[in-house]
Amino acid sequence: MPSTAHPEQIFRPEILQLSAYHVPPATGMIKLDAMENPYPLPLALREEIAGLMIQAPVNRYPDASATSLKSSLRQALAIPDGMDILLGNGSDEIIQIIAMAAAKPGAVLMSVEPAFVMFRMIATFTGIRYVGVPLKKDFSLDLELMLSAITKHQPAVIFLAYPNNPTGNLFDPEAIKRIISATPGIVVVDEAYQAFADTSFIDELSKYPNLLLMRTLSKSGLAGLRLGLLIGRPEWLEQLEKLRLPYNIGIMTQLIAEKVLQHTAILSEQAEAIKSERAKMNAFFATMKSIETYPSKANFILFRVNKASQIFQALKQRRILIKNLDGTHPLLENCLRVTVGTPEENAQFCTALQSILSEIA
């Protein structure tokens, strides 16, 4: 008799209710939806990488502890002595490792709303209760509300992205420090967009024993490699290491990331170019009376405009893909998020947006 088992009987109800993280098809589009760095690596460096690939012993498992890559990261990111590094297949995987480790019965994972959606999704995956504390209308931290939510829920983990996604702003660092001091658990400051922000909590690691810092190479030009890292005290990282799958960082990622980290000047130049394009896009938005923008320290800009969903569709028809946030959270009504691309891509986006607005006005 064939089995009559159905997913509905076997899988957890909260998994059955989830919608998968949606990645829209983007072939042939101007892709300004996913905070990627639009610039390829210089050809000479890609050729060096090709040479490494020829020699890569892909028949062998990669170095499970990625020792050499970790020491390159330590140097390139100026990781303080005494702090350890945990590597993830993207920082998404690190969020998952932390949530798995903390998911005791009744434990809470807290973040703000709106924030990076994977904080909430991964909490569901791992069976830890999620509490999202609303930001203020201007997307700043509501410190009083956070502090009372901390007292009420006693979270095991708090995730705060600095700058925040999808809003782009930096929260008040003093408010973050109050939260770190007030919480009984750990605080993970997620610095995915640090390359564009000119500020960091890295020097605070030595002051706060319950602080962990997360970074990723995704936004700095290496999204395709999938490499994220967690920086923090050995007593935390040594426990989290137990949950890391042994070969989560493949040999290609190890070799390429290490090579690129020998050329950090290239990555910083690209980040500078993105920051100056961000300023140009802000200047354009400032000329548009019907658009409200939010200050961004990341490589994207959140803006609010009437009929946002219609505008999003019209842009898509012109083969320009941005992110529609309308309807995803009450505070994001009529909000769209555009990633800063190359000067040509941004110019095309601005021209298209201008003409769509004049058509539907």
Cβ-based nearer residue to ligand PMP, 92 or 345: 92
Tell the burial category of 58 from Cβ atoms under 10 Å away from its Cβ (0-12, 13-18, 19+).
exposed
CB 328 within 8 A of CB 21: no
From CA 33, how far away is CA 24, in angstroms rounded? 9
Cβ-based nearer residue to ligand PMP, 41 or 122: 122
Considering only residues 72, 96, 218, 346, which one is a binding residue for ligand PMP as defined by CB under 6 A? 218
Cβ-based nearer residue to ligand PMP, 139 or 284: 139
Nearest CA to 159 out of 207, 221, 115 is that of 115
User: Least CB distance from residue 116 to ligand PMP, whole Å?
Assistant: 4
Nearest CA to 58 out of 224, 254, 252 is that of 252
Q: Is 35 in the site for ligand PMP (CB under 6 A)?
A: yes
Can you say how many angstroms the Cα of residue 215 is from the centroid of all Cα atoms in its chain?
A: 8
From CA 245, how far away is CA 256, in angstroms rounded? 20
Cβ-based nearer residue to ligand PMP, 97 or 356: 97
CB 173 within 8 A of CB 143: no
Cβ-based nearer residue to ligand PMP, 228 or 341: 228
Q: How many other C-beta atoms are found inside a 10 Å radius of the C-beta of residue 34?
A: 17
Cβ-based nearer residue to ligand PMP, 73 or 356: 73
Cβ-based nearer residue to ligand PMP, 116 or 312: 116
User: Least CB distance from residue 162 to ligand PMP, whole Å?
Assistant: 9
User: Least CB distance from residue 161 to ligand PMP, whole Å?
Assistant: 4
User: Which residues have CB under 8 Å from 92's CB, separation 6+?
Assistant: 118, 122, 228
Binding mask 152-171 for ligand PMP (x = CB under 6 A): ---------x---x------
Can you say how many angstroms the Cα of residue 56 is from the centroid of all Cα atoms in its chain?
A: 29
User: Least CB distance from residue 20 to ligand PMP, whole Å?
Assistant: 15
Considering only residues 192, 267, 308, 320, which one is a binding residue for ligand PMP as defined by CB under 6 A? 192
Closest-approach residue to ligand PMP (CB): 90
Cβ-based nearer residue to ligand PMP, 91 or 270: 91
Residues binding ligand PMP: what is the number (CB under 6 A)?
13
**Which H helix or E strand runs over 190?**
strand 186-190
Q: Map tokens 């658009």 to a residue.
A: 291
User: Least CB distance from residue 119 to ligand PMP, whole Å?
Assistant: 8
User: Least CB distance from residue 192 to ligand PMP, whole Å?
Assistant: 4
Residues across the chain: 361
Q: Using the 8-state DSSP alphabet, how is residue 329 labeled? A: S
The tokens describing 240, both together, are 């989290």
User: Least CB distance from residue 143 to ligand PMP, whole Å?
Assistant: 20
Residues in 76-135 that interact with ligand PMP by CB under 6 A? 90-92, 116
- The edge-to-edge listing of strands for the beta sheet with 335-339 is 291-293, 300-305, 335-339, 323-324
Considering only residues 38, 114, 228, 341, which one is a binding residue for ligand PMP as defined by CB under 6 A? 228
Residues in 172-191 that interact with ligand PMP by CB under 6 A? 190
Residues forming contacts to ligand PMP in the complex (CB under 6 A) are 35, 90-92, 116, 161, 165, 190, 192, 216, 218, 223, 228
